[in-house]
Amino acid sequence: MQIYKVGGAVRDRLLGKPVTDIDWVVVGATTEEMLAKGFRPVGADFPVFLHPKSGEEYALARTERKSGRGYGGFTFHASPEVTLEEDLIRRDLTINAMAEDDQQNLTDPYHGQRDLEERILRHVSPAFAEDPLRVLRVARFAARYAELGFKVAPETLELMRQLSESGELEALTAERSWKEISRALMEDQPQVFIQVLRDCGALKVLMPEVDALFGVPQPEAHHPEIDSGIHTLSVLEQSALHKQPLTVRWACLLHDLGKGLTPEAEWPRHIAHEHKGLTLIKAVNERFKAPKDCQELALLVGQYHTHGHRALELKASTLLELLQSFDIYRRPQRFEEFIAACEMDARGRKGLEQRSYPQADYLRGAANVARSVAVQPLLEKGFKGPELGEALKRERLKALKAHKESAAF
């Protein structure tokens, strides 16, 4: 029995990056031997075990063969005869197909270390094209390592293109897709993930609503970058630069989908794109079964982001309706995330990345003013039921009018 550290732990050590998760491969062992040593079995598809003390995953060396569609369409074979090289060749990228023993002696049959040095994301073997999930994984790695200068190898991009055109991407489950998408959006350069998907034709399969934004112009006076797709990438980039949470990043990706529905005759204006885009945002949310908080914020940002930009001009009554839509009294964090998404949208414009966004403080102030209106004095005056609601609304409107008059912008 021989044990090797494999995959990301080896890759990240060689890159000088922190190693978080460690995967181990066991060569020359049987299930019975692992159980005898106290390892606990997990996973129904192939023999994976948890270490009795560390809890880390140890997998028996295995081969795999395509047996059906999609990510799960594989037959696995694990036995003591499977070599380390045979186990490594089934992996996605050469930089993930390296192993090292307990003395840090490197086993690198597919030249992963060379590709690390040359900053190339390259597939290990033609079997790469058998797993559609790898399209998303490679795009995610491109986003993760973009800051180091990594690029997808042309021949790998071509395989990704073939996968995108094969219909295999449609076989991916919503859960597997969302896991990769959500992880990719939280990388330092999530816009690279979307760009790579577009480069290989996967974006128009997975998110045709986002793909449709590219080539759609916007008014240059407000959007110097002009192209709606480029703007979306820039907004996503800003959301990462400002360390926004997943909810905000997801909303940033989807906020302008309605612009893809504007007839060419109306370009570059996009009248009512906020309302038109809601059906598309809902479709993307449901396609990937995004978490409820992500779904809700994306819809609210899609509908109201131009309200955010025009906050200083809004009437007190419109401002109150906006605040009520977000349920700021019970869910203050959601409105804060809306403000953040609006600011990312404003900064995601060529040459305007550093421009101040006074709307943010104005909206926060308005929310605080509305929340500060006390109910007790109205109850003491005898208001109750619907009358209490109307009285509370009048007091909040009065407070918001005062807030608007006092704002020094």
Q: What CATH number has the domain bearing residue 98?
A: 3.30.460.10
Same structural domain for residues 390 and 245? yes
Same structural domain for residues 247 and 101? no
Backbone phi, psi, residue 403, to 5°: -60, -45
What would the DSSP string read from start to end of 196-221? Answer: HHHHTT-HHHH-HHHHTTTT-B--TT
Same structural domain for residues 244 and 105? no
| pLDDT per residue rounded down to tens, the chain (409 residues) | 899 999 999 999 999 999 988 999 999 999 899 999 999 998 666 689 999 999 999 999 988 775 555 555 556 788 899 999 999 999 999 999 999 999 999 999 999 999 999 999 999 999 898 899 999 999 999 999 999 999 999 999 999 999 999 999 999 999 999 999 999 999 999 999 999 999 999 999 999 999 999 999 999 999 999 999 999 999 999 999 999 999 999 999 999 999 999 999 999 999 999 999 999 999 999 999 999 999 999 999 999 999 999 999 999 999 999 999 999 999 999 999 999 999 999 999 999 999 999 999 999 999 999 999 998 898 888 888 899 989 999 999 999 999 999 886 5
Flag whether 298 is in a domain.
yes
* CA gap 153, 123 in Å, rounded: 8
| Domains in the chain, number | 2
Q: At what angle do helices 385-406 and 359-372 cross, to 10 degrees?
A: 140
* CA gap 98, 95 in Å, rounded: 7
* CA gap 136, 143 in Å, rounded: 11
Same structural domain for residues 102 and 247? no
* CA gap 357, 151 in Å, rounded: 34
Flag whether 120 is in a domain.
no
* CA gap 225, 352 in Å, rounded: 10
* Residue positions counted in the chain: 409
**Alpha helix segments (H runs only) across 315-358:** 316-325, 332-347
Last residue of a domain, one of 94, 111, 128: 111
Q: What is the pLDDT of residue 290?
A: 98
Same structural domain for residues 246 and 382? yes
Residues 6+ apart with CB under 8 A from 261: 273, 276, 277, 280
Q: What pairs with residue 65 in β-bridges?
A: 75
> What is the 8-class DSSP label of residue 96?
G
Flag whether 132 is in a domain.
no
Amino acid of residue 289: K
C-alpha triplet 57, 176, 235: angle, nearest 5°: 115
Please say whether the beta carbons of 161 and 125 come within 8 A: no
Give which of 171, 197, 178 is closest to 71, Cα–Cα.
171
Three-class secondary structure assignment of 230-250: HHHHHHHHHHHHCCCCHHHHH
> What is the 8-class DSSP label of residue 348?
S
Flag whether 140 is in a domain.
no
* CA gap 213, 234 in Å, rounded: 13
Q: What is the pLDDT of residue 74?
A: 52
Last residue of a domain, one of 70, 95, 111: 111
Please say whether the beta carbons of 219 and 227 come within 8 A: no
On the 0-12 / 13-18 / 19+ scale of CB atoms within 10 A, 14 is middle
What is the radius of gyration, based on Cα positions, of the chain?
A: 26
Reduce the DSSP state of residue 41 to 3 states and report it. strand
Q: For tokens 């007091």, what's the residue?
A: 395
Give which of 121, 79, 124 is closest to 99, Cα–Cα.
124
The domain in which residue 327 lies consists of: 239-254+283-409
Q: How many helices (H) and strands (E) does the chain have?
A: 19, 11
Flag whether 268 is in a domain.
no
Reduce the DSSP state of residue 52 to 3 states and report it. coil
Flag whether 221 is in a domain.
no
> What is the 8-class DSSP label of residue 79?
-
* CA gap 19, 167 in Å, rounded: 35
Residue 229 to residues 83, 144, 195, 255, Cα–Cα distance (Å): 46, 21, 10, 11
Taking the complete model, does pTM exceed 0.85, yes or no? yes
On the 0-12 / 13-18 / 19+ scale of CB atoms within 10 A, 59 is buried
* CA gap 276, 256 in Å, rounded: 10
* CA gap 10, 356 in Å, rounded: 43
Please say whether the beta carbons of 334 and 296 come within 8 A: yes
Flag whether 234 is in a domain.
no
Last residue of a domain, one of 63, 94, 111: 111
Flag whether 222 is in a domain.
no
